Amino acid sequence: MTRINPLIDGANEDMCNPYNVTNPAQGQACWTAAEWEDDPDPGHSVTQTTEQIYGSQDDTAALPPMIGFVQQYEKVDPGNVRGFFFLFIFFIFLF
């Protein structure tokens, strides 16, 4: 998106989410430019979106940590999370 509009800082390789919020030792998925063409479709329900933003159903954090996207996507499309592109995160920051 930065190429389209320089005012949008876009995604970068510092954008990572753990595969499992409660067990970070399982590793994390980070955005890479090579994954731009992937088209995941994470869950859209209120509970799924809450998990994506907060990492669980506990939505009491003053500043949402934005750490549950990969974890929740794994539930929607098991086994495909390793190539996850943070499209959903990208649009949240965009709008």
pLDDT per residue as tens digits for the range 50-93 = 999 999 999 999 999 988 988 898 888 887 766 554 444 444 44
State the average pLDDT over residues 27-50. Answer: 75
The Cα 69–Cα 60 span in angstroms is 17
| Token representation of residue 9 | 């800082």
75 within domain boundaries? yes
Question: What is the CB neighbour count within 10 angstroms for residue 51?
Answer: 24
Element (H, E) at 54: helix 46-54
Range of the domain at 59: 16-94
Is the sign of the CA dihedral 45, 35, 90, 1 positive or negative?
negative
26 within domain boundaries? yes
* pLDDT at residue 94 in the model: 46
pTM: 0.64
* pLDDT at residue 58 in the model: 95
9 within domain boundaries? no
Compute the 3-state secondary structure of the chain and give helix, strand, coil in percent, each to the nearest 5: 35, 5, 60
Domain count, the chain: 1
* pLDDT at residue 47 in the model: 94
2 within domain boundaries? no
The Cα 5–Cα 66 span in angstroms is 24
